[in-house]
Amino acid sequence: MAYYQIDWDAIRALTPREQLAVLADIAATVPVEMAQERVRIVGRTVERHAAERPWGAQSRAAEELGLGTARVGQLWTEYKEHHMTTTSYGTFVGNVADPGGAGSMRDYVTTALGDYADDYDIDAIVDEYRDAINERLDQGITLAGDEFYGPYPRPEHSTETIADAIEDVDLWEIVARHDHTQQ
């Protein structure tokens, strides 16, 4: 199946020398454009999967695209070098002031609640907490899953933007709305 058109009548109207030049140009251009588009498709697919859940994004993209993980890795590397529009700014836990022993946003909330964690809807708290942080972020920065993403190259003061957004959200106010014992 072809998605490009070659105007053969226009090419045949040229002199033989011009015809060969045009055909040589097409033969040289089409593979380059196809390779660039392949890199773009793989890059966007990996980015989409990374925004949903960073770990295993390349593997999930490879499965979706029907490519081997090694090939996706090669194309992803090329994409990042030339087309990267977003980059990771670190994990939620890596950006909070005192993460304790938490390894994720969910762990952070559960650890904060301690022995009373079973009295709360942890998933609802985490979702609302993430949404509230995202409402306060700017400069194109987003908290997706447990990872902050934003434009590449990273804007000046992005670290402060993330810290301020986290600090501006009152976790305990959110926690109070999801107390099972108060229903």
Average pLDDT over residues 90-117: 90
Of 146, 115, 150, nearest to 129 (Cα)?
A: 146
**Which among 37, 30, 59 is positioned nearest to 46, based on CA atoms?**
59
**Phi and psi dihedrals of 143, rounded to 5?**
-100, 110
Position 27 scores a pLDDT of 80
Q: Once rounded to an integer, what is the mean pLDDT over residues 20-32?
A: 83
Could you give the percent of the chain with pLDDT greater than 70? 94
**1: pLDDT strictly greater than 50:** no
pLDDT digits (tens, 9 = 90+) for 32-66: 778 888 888 998 898 888 877 767 888 999 999 99
Question: Cα(57)–Cα(73) distance, rounded to whole angstroms?
Answer: 10
Highest mean pLDDT among 35-39, 55-59, 99-103, 104-108: 104-108
Mean pLDDT of the chain: 86
Residue 156 has pLDDT above 90, yes or no: no
Give, in order, the Cα–Cα distances in Å from 176 to each of 13, 97, 113, 182.
77, 22, 11, 9
- Percentage of the residues of the chain whose pLDDT score is greater than 90: 38
